[in-house]
């Protein structure tokens, strides 16, 4: 066997089979095809040795116990592979079932993480012993990858925790550590060191010669009852509707998991396993699963591993960072830094404004203390790391200074010249601009090679993505140090090259302006907003424009016109931009902060669409379909992403996909803006884009250069 080591240990009462998972040339154990074949061989050997065995111990030679399924194999599957997938799943389950019904105790020694299929391997055991380390994680996060736990996970967790108790772990992918697992009854004992695992397992084997799974006891009942129980039945009546509200019908995995839980609870154990296998085979061969695995496993790991980090600069951490501007963005950056142990100097034009910026962090800390998510001492230490000031001299010694002032080129130049001399030797300077080209802003710097864009998203305490923008003179070392800084904050860095709007703002702009353009064409505002959300966008385009301020969009438009005019070129505004300009300049509707935009915001009441939109823009005879509205919103962003890749603004598909999902809310079921193209099928996508271009203009045109880059970056698994 190439992935499993098998040995017999002398123990009280007979031999104990020690089964050690040890996949060759891999840092982790996975359910690869070789492991599945080895599992069959293992079971045959155990059956041969059964007369002399008093128990079985499952262990790992890796730092983790077991990592789960072979996701590359899943990525290669198609809808035609569902039947074969069902057979593979059933074959594996047959081995699991044989091991747990031999009439001898089986113990799992959990020395590290057991996630997904790894936790299902742990569930083979009648008794689970874990290393008492709060950083170790157990659980079934398959739904976050578009899959379901189909190797006994749904059936067993439902029978162990009950229909209601198991839902967070099966429908949401909630994870738990060893102590949580003990409280749930999923882990039966913990030990302090890895060396104690095997002796504890052997002792339990000796003390429990007749062990069996709980559901194999004829008197066993599911905790809380089956769906026939009136209380459970009443809860299950609303469960599908609540789930649909969350998934919007775009994520088949949670809905399939719920169905397996309910149906499986109504039948015997072995039938429940087959129900689960059928559901997994169908889900696994579907496009949504492949999209989500592509994004949330392969692309996310590429970002986290630093594939976009240039050069060979040694990794490092910053200890003191300055932030210019104590408004919402600057205050949020200060919080992000202080919460990770970085001493922060928060500067504004007055001490009062700087103090107000610090109070933002104090308020966030107080809320966490009140909810038990932070202790008072840590909150106090966090506040102490932020030094509010109006004096640029207090920035002395900062390894990085980030300006987060208003989107005005002259203002940014002024604060850059004032603060940059305070940098520590070898320090670097960053702008948090969301739209202004970094190369232009770097002209105010005395060291443009050490000037970079670090674009945070609001609210900083919640948004994981940070866009790092390389100016034309920015050197590799500065990009690498910015990358390390973002990871030090626990956030996700993507690296892009300089251009107007960079990647995220530029692409997100196409989303909101396409929504505005549709309103200008006469489509109902409610249709646009609801279709967007049903497609999987977190917020409708008109609502987003209100939140970010229509006046800001007009300011950016004015700046763009001025920049083009300075180069002797006219700028042709899009229909969406012109409509937003009318809203601000003619109708005096600047957005939420200014009292109202596309929406009204009555005090103490829920916001609602501005009634005048119907009179001003909507046309009763305008032709539309929900599918076409959704296509326009998603295709427009995907095409702009491909253009960014063709122009060199983006340099990788993984940055494109992760940037689109975590930065602009592109629907997770698509796997990101580029994966949306590949998941749709390149030919089918291009054909639909041509149809949209004929009807709705140049925004949907995919020129030969963009077509070539789509083909060149097509992923191979």
Q: Report, as residue numbers or ranges, the catalytic residues.
A: 120, 142
The C-alpha atoms of residue 108 and residue 510 are separated, in whole angstroms, by: 52
Residue from 56, 356, 304 nearest 201 by CA: 56
Residue from 255, 283, 290 nearest 73 by CA: 290
The C-alpha atoms of residue 255 and residue 431 are separated, in whole angstroms, by: 44
Interior angle at CA 704, CA 700 and CA 705, nearest 5: 100
Where do we find the tokens 């129900």?
275
DSSP states of 194-251: GGGHHHHHHHHHHH-TT---GGGSTT---TT--TTSHHHHHHHHHHHHHHHHHHTT--
Determine the angle formed by the axes of helices 704-712 and 682-696, rounding to 10 degrees: 160
SS3 411: helix
SS3 154: helix
End-to-end Cα separation, the chain, in angstroms: 26
SS3 502: coil
The token duo for 354 is 């700087």
Residue 79 is given by DSSP the state G
Q: Bridge partners of 106?
A: 56
Residue from 526, 551, 552, 554 nearest 541 by CA: 526
SS3 138: strand
Q: Bridge partners of 344?
A: 321, 386
- Beta strand 138-139 with 114-115 is parallel
Contact 489, 344 (CB under 8 A): no
Contact 644, 507 (CB under 8 A): yes
Determine the angle formed by the axes of helices 230-247 and 153-165, rounding to 10 degrees: 110
Where do we find the tokens 């397992």?
201
The C-alpha atoms of residue 690 and residue 526 are separated, in whole angstroms, by: 27
Residue from 163, 39, 170 nearest 99 by CA: 39
Contact 360, 457 (CB under 8 A): no
- Beta strand 320-324 with 189-191 is unpaired
The C-alpha atoms of residue 190 and residue 196 are separated, in whole angstroms, by: 9
């Amino acid at each position: 066997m190439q992935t499993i080591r098998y040995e017999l240990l002398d123990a009280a009462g007979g031999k104990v089979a020690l089964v050690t998972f040890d996949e060759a040339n891999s840092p982790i154990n996975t359910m690869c095809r070789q492991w599945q074949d080895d599992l069959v061989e293992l079971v045959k050997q155990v059956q041969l040795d059964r007369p002399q065995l008093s128990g079985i111990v499952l262990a790992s030679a890796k730092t983790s116990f077991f990592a789960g399924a072979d996701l590359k194999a899943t990525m290669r599957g198609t809808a035609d592979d569902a039947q074969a997938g069902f057979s593979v799943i059933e074959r594996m389950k047959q081995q699991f079932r044989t091991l747990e019904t031999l009439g001898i105790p089986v113990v799992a020694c959990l020395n590290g993480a057991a996630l997904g299929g790894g936790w299902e391997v742990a569930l083979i055991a009648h008794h689970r012993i874990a290393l008492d380390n709060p950083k170790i994680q157990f659980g079934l996060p398959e739904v976050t990858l578009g899959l379901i736990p189909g190797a006994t996970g749904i059936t067993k967790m439902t029978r162990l925790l009950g229909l209601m108790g198991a839902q967070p772990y099966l429908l949401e992918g909630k994870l738990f550590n060893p102590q949580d697992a003990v409280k749930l009854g999923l882990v039966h004992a913990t030990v302090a060191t890895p060396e104690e695992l095997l002796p504890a397992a052997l002792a339990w084997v000796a003390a429990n010669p007749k062990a069996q799974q709980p559901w194999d006891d004829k008197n066993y009942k599911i905790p809380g009852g089956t769906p026939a129980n009136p209380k459970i039945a009443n809860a299950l009546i609303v469960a599908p509707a609540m789930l649909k509200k969350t998934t919007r019908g775009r994520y088949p995995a949670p809905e399939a998991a719920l169905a397996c839980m309910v149906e499986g609870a109504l039948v015997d154990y072995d039938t429940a396993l087959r129900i689960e296998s059928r559901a997994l085979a169908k889900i696994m061969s579907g496009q949504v699963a492949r999209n989500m695995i592509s994004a949330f496993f392969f692309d996310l790991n590429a970002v986290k591993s630093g594939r976009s980090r240039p050069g060979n600069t040694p990794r490092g951490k910053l200890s003191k960072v300055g932030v210019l501007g104590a408004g919402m963005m600057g205050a949020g950056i200060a919080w992000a830094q202080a919460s990770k142990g970085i001493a922060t100097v928060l500067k504004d034009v007055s001490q009062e404004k700087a103090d107000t910026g610090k109070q933002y962090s104090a308020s966030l800390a107080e809320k966490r203390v009140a909810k038990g998510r932070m202790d008072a001492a840590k909150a106090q230490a966090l506040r102490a790391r932020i030094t509010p000031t109006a004096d640029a001299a207090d920035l002395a010694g900062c390894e990085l200074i980030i300006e987060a002032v208003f989107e005005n080129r002259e203002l940014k130049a002024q604060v850059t010249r004032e603060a940059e001399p305070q940098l520590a030797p070898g320090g670097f300077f960053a702008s948090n601009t969301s739209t202004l080209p970094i190369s232009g802003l770097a002209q105010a710097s005395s060291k443009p090679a050490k000037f970079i864009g670090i674009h945070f998203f609001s609210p900083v305490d919640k948004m994981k993505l940070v866009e790092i923008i390389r100016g034309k003179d920015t050197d590799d070392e500065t990009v690498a140090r910015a990358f390390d800084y973002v990871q030090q904050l626990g956030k996700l860095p993507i690296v892009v090259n300089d251009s107007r709007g960079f990647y995220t703002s530029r692409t997100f702009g196409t989303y909101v302006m396409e929504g505005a353009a549709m309103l200008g064409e006469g489509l109902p505002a409610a249709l646009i907003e609801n279709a967007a959300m049903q497609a999987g966008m977190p917020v409708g385009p008109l609502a987003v424009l209100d939140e970010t301020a229509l006046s800001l969009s007009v300011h950016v438009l004015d700046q763009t016109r001025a920049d083009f005019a300075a180069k002797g070129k006219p700028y042709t505004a899009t229909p969406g931009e012109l409509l937003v300009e009318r809203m601000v300049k003619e109708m005096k509707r600047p957005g939420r902060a200014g009292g109202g935009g596309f929406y009204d915001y009555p005090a103490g009441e829920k916001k609602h669409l501005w009634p005048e939109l119907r009179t001003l823009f909507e046309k009763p005879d305008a032709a539309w379909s929900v599918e076409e509205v959704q296509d326009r919103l998603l295709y427009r962003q995907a095409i702009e992403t491909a253009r960014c890749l063709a122009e060199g603004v983006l340099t990788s598909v993984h940055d494109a996909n992760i940037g689109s999902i975590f930065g602009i809310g592109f629907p997770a079921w698509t796997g990101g803006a580029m994966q949306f193209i590949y998941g749709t099928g390149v030919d089918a996508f291009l054909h639909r884009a041509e149809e949209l271009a004929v009807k709705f203009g140049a925004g949907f045109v995919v020129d030969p250069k963009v077509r070539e880059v789509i083909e060149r970056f097509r992923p191979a698994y």
